[in-house]
Amino acid sequence: MQTPGFFRNIQQWFLRTPERALNQAYEAAQTIEAIERDYFGGNPISSRYGNYGNSAMTYFEGELKKYLNLMRVRMAEFRASRSVIRGSEPRMTEVQLPGTRDDLTVNVVDRQALVLRKLRLVDEVLARYATQEAPSQRVITLTDGAKVAIEPTSPTRVLRAKADQARRGQNGGAVNGNDDNRPDALSDRANVLPRSILRTVDRIRKDLDPNAEEEVVKSFRKSKSKTTAAIRFLLLLIIVPLLTQQFTKAFLVGPIVERVRVDDQADVFLNLEMEEEALHELQQFEERLRFEVLIGKAPPLSELSIEQQVRAKATDIEDEYRDRSTNAVKNVFADILAAGAFALVLVTRKQDVANLKSFMDEIVYGLSDSAKAFIIILFTDIFVGFHSPHGWEILLEGLSRHLGFPANRDFIFLFIATFPVILDTVFKYWIFRYLNRISPSAVATYKNMNE
């Protein structure tokens, strides 16, 4: 006697297939946006917007791929069922009241507006990740010359940030309409089987794939080209400023400075410190000469002979310090041009800068916890440690001498009293803000080694 009701329920379930498929695709889009908002600051799911390790980025990319596939399948089901089901659809969504007859319904919201809002969000999420590469890129690490380890990498290409900002600006109300429900939707999407089992099955499937070897070789070549490009650009950043400084100093700035600074008219000393050094050197020469005569190491000399030798030494010192002053002036302009060349390379090679940053991140965050702690302690002790003021003092004095400026002791002491403190604060903030989130075990190892 319940057969008519059973068939009626089946009919209603079939008629609601488009709505059910659209709701599931909409929930998947909400989940992706919840991940973007909670873990990537509202930006697309990519390593350039979230500073996570390889394991974390692999997890996020796996979630992204799962929900994108779910959205595509449900949207295909939605379109297919809409083409088959031709029943009349009211503009108002009808909701059955509990405890009433089956045909007693009320209209609560505009159906077309609700469907369009869901479709708009689904299309925006799909379009945002339409041009991305497959998230499961791999890098081959060869060890002992025989083993090959395939590790997942995180960077995937994303759409432009302007398009994403325009999307959030145009649909702020539609996207934020269910903000309170998004974390629940993310937690409700747990897998039935453990991820380790799924990864094992996926690895076996890839091992049995006849094209697996070709994919491994292709991934290795891609990783090799990426590493080669990063190292080449790093060498470029070092070589270009050095060559620019030497070339301009020898062929551009040097001739101009030598023509302007005529030997007879140019000042011998650029500052008082250089003059004091020259007088001290001349005084030491005269005292050494008299001392050697007194102890019999040198033949006896008259005052006139001593004066002639001192005068000849003074002339040599004058020529030496005039050359040092001219060289310091050349260094100022040559260093400015070298810094300009360095900045020009950074501005014109933005893609190489991003590749170098990704390469350095993989190296730094790929180290073991003890290696990370060792490098952090090494750098902090060198630049902000107990003995670092002596190193900063020597470095600043050498820079002043290179540029021909007097070594201002007050400025040096003020710099040493402030800059290492600021640098130490930056180190601690980086450890607290980023490293503590990416590798807590490395922070614990660092604290144990530091104690």
- Give burial (CB, 10 Å; 0-12/13-18/19+) of 47: buried
Domain count of the fold of the chain: 3
Decide: helix, strand or coil at residue 139: strand
**Residues 307, 388: one domain?**
no
User: What tens digit of pLDDT does each residue of 130-162 get?
Assistant: 865 444 444 444 444 444 444 444 433 333 444
DSSP 40: S
Domain of residue 288: give its range. 228-349
The count of C-alpha atoms lying within 13 angstroms of the C-alpha of 143, restricted to the half-sphere facing its C-beta, is 7
Q: Whose CA is closest to 359, among 215, 229, 239, 236?
A: 229
Residue 222 belongs to some domain of the structure? no
Angle of helix 409-430 relative to helix 388-403, nearest 10 degrees, comes to 130
**Terminal-to-terminal C-alpha distance of the chain:** 80
Q: Which of 297, 314, 349 is the last residue before a domain boundary?
A: 349
β 105-110/147-152 pair status: unpaired
Assess whether 175 and 38 both reside in one domain.
yes
Digitized pLDDT (tens) for each residue of the chain, 451 residues in all: 445 566 666 666 667 788 888 888 898 898 898 888 888 877 888 877 777 777 778 888 888 888 898 888 888 888 887 776 654 454 444 544 444 444 444 444 456 778 888 888 888 888 888 865 444 444 444 444 444 444 444 433 333 444 444 444 444 444 444 444 444 444 444 455 566 677 777 777 766 777 777 777 888 888 888 889 999 999 999 999 999 999 999 999 888 888 887 766 667 788 888 888 899 999 999 999 899 888 888 888 888 888 899 999 999 998 888 888 888 999 999 999 999 999 999 999 988 998 898 888 888 877 888 888 888 888 888 888 777 888 899 999 889 888 888 888 888 999 988 998 899 899 888 888 888 887 788 888 888 877 7
Same domain, 168 and 274: no
Domain assignment present for residue 203? The answer is: no
128 and 257 inside one domain: no
* Amino acid occupying residue 20: R
Tell me whether residue 298 is in a domain: yes
Question: How many residues comprise the chain?
Answer: 451
Classify residue 18: in a domain, yes or no.
Answer: yes
- Cα–Cα distance, 2 to 294 (Å, whole number): 131
Same domain, 83 and 165: yes
SS3 (DSSP) at 108: strand
Q: At a CB cut-off of 8 Å and minimum separation 6, what does 342 contact?
A: 237, 240, 241
Q: Are residues 302 and 406 in the same domain?
A: no
Q: Is residue 218 part of a domain?
A: no
Same structural domain, 236 and 286:
yes
Query: Rounded to an integer, what distance in angstroms lies between the CA atom of residue 186 and that of residue 184?
Result: 5
Same domain assignment for residues 335 and 377: no
Q: Tell me which residue has tokens 């180290």.
A: 367
Residue 149 lies in a domain: no
User: Can you list the alpha helix ranges (DSSP code H) found in 209-253?
Assistant: 212-247
219 in any annotated domain: no
d(CA 183, CA 187): 6
Encoding tokens for residue 130?
Answer: 């339409």
Which uninterrupted H or E stretch holds 378?
Answer: helix 369-384
- For residue 404, which of 334, 306, 304, 307 has the smallest C-alpha distance? 334
| Cα 28 to Cα 221: distance, rounded to the nearest angstrom | 35
Please give the helix or strand (H or E) that residue 68 lies within, else none.
helix 54-84
- Residue 46 tokens, joined: 């990519």
How many CA atoms, within 13 angstroms, populate the side-chain half-sphere of residue 90?
10
DSSP assignment of 250-309: IIIIHHHHHHHS-TTTS-S-SSHHHHHHHHHHHHHHHHHHHHHHHTTSS----HHHHHHH
